[in-house]
Amino acid sequence: MADERDPVVSRRYRELGAEEPPRELDERILAISRRGLERRRWYGPAAIAAMLVLAVGVAVQIERKPEDAVVADAPQKEKEQEQPAAKVEAAEQAKPAPKAAAPHQFAAEPPAAPASRADEAPRELAKRNEGAAAASAPQAAPSAGASVQDRLMSKTESPEAWLERIAELRRQGKHEEADKALAEFRQRYPGYRLSDQVRAKVEKK
């Protein structure tokens, strides 16, 4: 019975030669091994980028659809909604400095979603034209601008950012706007639980 570790057989086997793969084959395989890593390097980020683009695309579509559906009766409703706002603005003309500044301050904030804003521009223009009869042009425009800005922000900003904005309004003493923004917030996020700390900042004392 032969031992499975026979040194004579092993030695003779070694004498058959020590062939090696050709250099070109080595180079080809090593190049492929490196390409495999390179591919992985950009596949990951590319896949993430593609997913983000897709997610944003879907979100934008979802965001647009309900608006498009109500666009037919929107001007009338918006007009109705803005009339009280215009009245409030007119009444507040008596205290010019802080109140008049408010819409401009919002407008100066960085846009949350430039694409959405660009999309809103024509509609905003049409609305301004409609609202011109209800209030004087110089005042109505910022008022309408603030309204659109509010809507845009409420559509795009996170609940936390929204609450922070309300808290800022309270700090600035703009309680009426803060109340309005808080009401919109509650309408949008009915299940959102406010911590005591946040509640103290955003609710009227």
Q: Which residue number, 9 or 161, has a Cβ lying nearer to other proteins?
A: 9
**Binding to other proteins by residue 23, rule CB under 8 A?**
no
Buried b (16+ CB within 10 A) or exposed e, 106-129: beeeeebbeeeeeebeeebeebbe
- Residue 41: CB minimum distance to other proteins, A: 7
Segment lying near other proteins (by CB under 8 A), choices 32-40, 58-66, 75-83, 184-192? 32-40
Residue with Cβ nearer other proteins (16 or 72): 16
Q: Least CB distance from residue 25 to other proteins, whole Å?
A: 6
Q: Give yes or no for residue 46 binding other proteins (CB under 8 A).
A: no
Cβ distance 120 to 148 under 8 Å? yes
Query: At 71, which amino acid appears?
Result: V
Q: Name the residue nearer to other proteins (CB basis): 41 or 104.
A: 41
CB of 21 to other proteins, least distance (A): 5
DSSP per-residue letters across 109-160: SPPS-HHHHHHHHHHHHHHHHHHTTTS-HHHHHHHHHHHHHHHHHHHHS-HH
CB 150 within 8 A of CB 120: no
CA distance 55 to 34: 32
Residue 16 or 133: which CB sits closer to other proteins? 16
Smallest gap from residue 144 Cβ to other proteins (A): 55
Tell me which DSSP letter residue 110 carries. Answer: P
Output the smallest distance, CB 49 to other proteins, in A.
19
Rounded Cα distance between 182 and 145, Å, is 19
- Binding positions for other proteins, rule: CB under 8 A: 1-4, 6, 8-10, 12-13, 15-22, 25-26, 28-30, 32-34, 36-37, 40-41
